């Protein structure tokens, strides 16, 4: 089962110890409780590849069978390395403290519980990479068994764990935003930031200072198109990583309705993850709104060979099939939620835009910033110049990092009080409380 490792791991020189030796030693000493199995690839009914890893049967809550790890800190460089650059990989223990996630087979789970796996040994990470057990990351090895490069998938940002086995280790939650992932820290560790410095026209230290503003769970997908590193008020310009579940029936994608799901998949896959493929959107050729995209021609990218376009239909099919997770029993007050539902559909006017059962508007679900009482900075970075009515199902599953596109509202109470004031709803504190409970029940 996949061990999801952050790209940031591979920015550090690795241990001398070989992963093959680790696998051999561990196989000899581990208890006989099952086999280490490379999980089958997930495919659509038409046989299209949907995910490089984990093909677990999902339960009604949207969880997949298996365990993985999450990490939250950065592994420091190992000392006394030879002058020649070696392969890269941090220890699993470091991974658990950073922001990535991992899945384990039953035998690995048992060994982990019995303390038979050395989580401080980077060779463990290499071994899991060789087993294709990393969620969202693919390791490419030389014939000598050394890691030469890595690739990432959508799950890199859009999967998490439920901590059911141990802190940072649990069942995979597909489509959930990885709000622990510090993309800025990952990118800043790249050995060569020249592509950024050349495009933005600044030095490496400036690039790193901007990346440092993002923090966990936040990413700026327009920085390389419009060059807006910060908001006018000096705050970060990135947006929260959104969920990739509950998209069936939802017209536009991203906080600002940038485009359809396939449009955004192509945009990210080609212009952000830099896969070799095709992306075209003439809206981004506007030299006033998107000076960098107009300059480098990324609005019309034609990678050869095109390895992305053929993947888009199956990826779209899979994303639309991921249901929003149901809230756990006891996670909200049912009586208060029942009262909150009446407020949602009545005095609160929430259902005017968040129309059940989609909890967004069928059709062109966009609104001007002035309609919702917020500034236009992020909207104006989108071709739409508007904000999308975000679907609310599964809202309880991505509260980490706050609400709205930039996390400006720390709690659901804050969101409701904003509208209570802006729209003059006249909701009492009790009504606000009940409405919060209803939102938690969706």
Does 170 share its domain with 54?
A: yes
Does 12 share its domain with 59?
A: yes
> Of 290, 321, 352, at which residue does a domain stop?
321
Does 118 share its domain with 19?
A: yes
**Domain annotation covers residue 186:** no
Does 66 share its domain with 147?
A: yes
Terminal alpha carbon distance of the chain: 30
Predicted pLDDT at 440: 98
- CA–CA distance, 390 with 327 (Å, rounded to integer): 18
Does 139 share its domain with 247?
A: no
Predicted pLDDT at 205: 95
Q: Which two tokens stand for residue 69?
A: 């790890």
- CA–CA distance, 98 with 92 (Å, rounded to integer): 10
Main-chain phi, psi angles of 232, to 5 degrees: -60, -25
**Domain annotation covers residue 408:** yes
Residues of the chain falling short of pLDDT 70: 1-105, 108, 119, 133, 165-170
> Of 321, 346, 379, at which residue does a domain stop?
321
CA nearest 222: which of 264, 172, 174, 178?
264
User: Residues 176-226: pLDDT tens digits?
Assistant: 999 988 999 989 988 899 998 999 999 999 999 999 999 999 999 999 999
pTM over 0.85: no
Does 49 share its domain with 150?
A: yes
Q: What angle do CA 303, 275, 9 make, to 5 degrees?
A: 150
Place of tokens 């904000």: 387
**Domain annotation covers residue 53:** yes
Does 116 share its domain with 255?
A: no
Does 348 share its domain with 308?
A: no
DSSP 344: H
Predicted pLDDT at 167: 59
Judge whether 91 and 75 are in contact, CB under 8 Å.
yes
Exposure b/e, 18-27, CB count within 10 A at least 16 = b? bbeebbeebe
Identify the domain containing residue 52 by its residue range.
7-174
Taking the CA of residue 133 as centre, how many other CA atoms within 13 Å lie in the half-sphere pointing to its CB? 23
> Of 321, 354, 385, at which residue does a domain stop?
321
Predicted pLDDT at 245: 95
Rg for the chain, CA atoms, rounded: 23
Does 38 share its domain with 85?
A: yes
Predicted pLDDT at 278: 98
Does 411 share its domain with 341?
A: yes
CA nearest 4: which of 176, 146, 246, 144?
176
**Peptide bond preceding 116: is omega within 30 degrees of 0, i.e. cis?**
no
Does 97 share its domain with 11?
A: yes
């Amino acid at each position: 089962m996949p061990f999801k490792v952050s790209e940031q791991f591979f920015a550090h020189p690795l241990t001398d110890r070989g992963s093959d030796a680790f696998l051999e030693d561990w196989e000899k000493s581990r208890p006989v409780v099952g086999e280490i199995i490379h999980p089958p690839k997930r495919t659509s009914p038409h046989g299209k590849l949907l995910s490089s890893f984990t093909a677990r049967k999902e339960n009604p809550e949207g969880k997949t069978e298996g365990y993985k790890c999450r990490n939250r800190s950065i592994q420091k460089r190992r000392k006394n390395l030879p002058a020649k650059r070696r392969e890269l990989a941090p220890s699993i223990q470091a991974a658990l403290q950073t922001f990535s996630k991992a899945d384990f087979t039953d035998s690995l789970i048992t060994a982990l519980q019995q303390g038979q796996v050395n989580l401080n040994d980077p060779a463990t990470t290499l071994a899991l990479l060789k087993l294709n057990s990393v969620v969202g990351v693919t390791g490419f090895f030389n014939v000598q068994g050394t890691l030469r490069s890595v690739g990432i998938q959508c799950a890199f940002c859009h999967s998490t764990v439920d901590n059911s086995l141990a802190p940072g280790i649990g069942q995979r939650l597909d489509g959930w935003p990885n709000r622990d992932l510090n993309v800025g820290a990952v990118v800043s560790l790249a050995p060569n930031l020249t592509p950024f410095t050349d495009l933005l026209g600044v030095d490496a230290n400036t690039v790193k200072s901007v990346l440092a503003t993002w923090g966990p769970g936040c990413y700026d997908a327009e920085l390389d198109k419009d060059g807006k590193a910060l908001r006018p008020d000096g705050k970060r310009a990135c947006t929260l990583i959104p969920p990739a579940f509950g998209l069936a029936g939802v017209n536009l994608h991203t906080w600002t309705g940038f485009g359809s799901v396939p449009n955004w998949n192509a945009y990210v896959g080609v212009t952000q993850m830099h896969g070799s493929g095709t992306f075209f959107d003439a809206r981004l050729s506007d030299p006033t709104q998107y000076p960098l995209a107009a300059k480098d021609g990324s609005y019309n990218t034609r990678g050869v060979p095109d390895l992305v376009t053929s993947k888009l239909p199956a990826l779209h099919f899979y994303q639309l099939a991921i249901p929003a997770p149901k809230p756990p029993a006891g996670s909200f007050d049912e009586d208060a939620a029942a009262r909150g539902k009446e407020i949602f559909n009545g005095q609160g006017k929430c259902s005017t835009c968040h129309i059940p059962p989609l909890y967004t508007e069928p059709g062109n679900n966009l609104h001007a910033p002035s309609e919702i009482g917020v500034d236009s900075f992020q909207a104006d970075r989108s071709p739409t110049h508007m904000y999308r009515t975000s679907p609310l199902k599964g809202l309880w599953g991505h509260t980490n990092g706050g609400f709205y596109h930039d996390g400006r509202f720390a709690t659901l109470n804050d969101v409701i009080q904003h509208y209570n004031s802006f729209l003059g709803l006249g909701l009492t504190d009790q009504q606000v409380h009940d409405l919060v409970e209803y939102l938690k029940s969706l």
